[in-house]
Structure 1
Amino acid sequence: MNTATARSLFHDERGTSGLIMALVLATLAGIAALALDVGAMHVRRSSLQTSADAAALAGAGALISYGSDLPKVRAVVLEYAKANLDSQDQPDIAVQASDILFYRNGAPDENAPNQVEVTVRRTQARGNAMSLFFGPAVDVDQADLSAKARAGIIDAASSKCLKPWSVATKFTWNDYAGSRYSSDYGNGMLDVDNTAEMATVQVQGFAAADLGATVVLKVGDPHDVIVPSQYNAINYPPLNKGIPSPGA
């Protein structure tokens, strides 16, 4: 081969574009395959997270029902976790009793827990790892997936006897109505049994000028109110839940 022929072959670019296109298409195909596997993994992990969330919430509810009877709580957690898994996840393998942990305010505690943590797994170690579609092309056949959730309960002070109430509206009355020889005469109180006093009641209501005024609520005999009731002032919250406010 003479020098001219060699130089001609060196500068011959025919077929180069085809080679570049083949390389680009191969790269795009690899990226597309990776996207499909990653998308499928995301979908499966979302399913695992749904299972973990449902199981943790059910476990927190079971703590309220069963307290420190942890075997019963675990049974409830497993039931809800498995019910929210697909058959391909192999529910009996994906979540087991060892995947359920108990805490109290964030610290491990199986004596008086108030939190339940659940982990749902699809791993090679358990034999239920997710199989990949295109991963084998890069020597990755399976992927490990897991999801974790924790739910808890909090102490709340409550009472079936607490009822909403409101401050009575502003009104005036003549405390000196009626017989001056009556014990109700000028005693500084509205006597609901005194028809003469009740006839003088005039409702004014609160106005802008009353903003910031102090309203004193006094505990008295329920029969001394216009509408008698069973309501009485109590100290709330109770001593074991906080610092009580007298008459709250």
Structure 2
Amino acid sequence: MSAALHVLLAVVGYQFYRWKTLPEPVQVFSVQLIDAEPGPVVEPTPPPPAPEPEPEPEPEPPKPEPPPPPPKPEPKPEPKPEPKPEPKPEPPKPKPEPKPKPEPKPEPKSKKPPKLEPSTPKEPVVPLKPTSPPAAIEGPVAIVGDVPNELAQWVGLFQRAVYREWMLPGGIPLDDPQYVPEVYITVSRDGRILDGPMVSKKTPSNDFDNSCVNAILNATIPPFSDAAKVSEVTLVVRFQPLARAASGP
């Protein structure tokens, strides 16, 4: 019985399988086309007008050609320089004649102090009487010669005025008799220098001689006293360095 059951199940299963695998029937539909109502006719958009062609620019007139440059003038031929005349030979220069050697001039003699003589005396001149021997008025600035009594006081003032201005240069030997210069001078009544000062006895040192001359020029010479009767006087002044150094400033 079980075997028959199995056969039955197999037949049923086979039929079911065939039923499942059969194709489905095709459905056919009948369709009738109906014309649609005509709609509004749409006119086609006209194409845009073609753009007008731009006018072609007129061609510019051709520029006038520049005139040709004028022809260059032909250079004038340079004149040939005239030949210079050959220089004439210079005549030989005459040889200079030898000049004669100048003769040596004699050395000027030292001036001697002039004598005491007034040039234009306004008052009568009284003869001078010596009151002391020569070189009696000693000192660093000594007076050589005769001095009248009426000028004795004035001579002392003159000596002091010159002494204050005398600066003794350095390096002068004090005890050498060659270094004792003498200077002469002529003084008027009012103290003005009429002649000189001039060195009548020189030393080996020009600086020393000049210091004596400058001492007289820089001194303040006083006028004569009212008692003096002469209008001028000439003195020989002796400068003694040893006495000057011993006297101090």
Q: TM-score, normalised by structure 1?
A: 0.19
Q: TM-score, normalised by structure 2?
A: 0.19
Which structure has more RCO (C-alpha within 8 Å, separation ≥ 6)?
Answer: 2
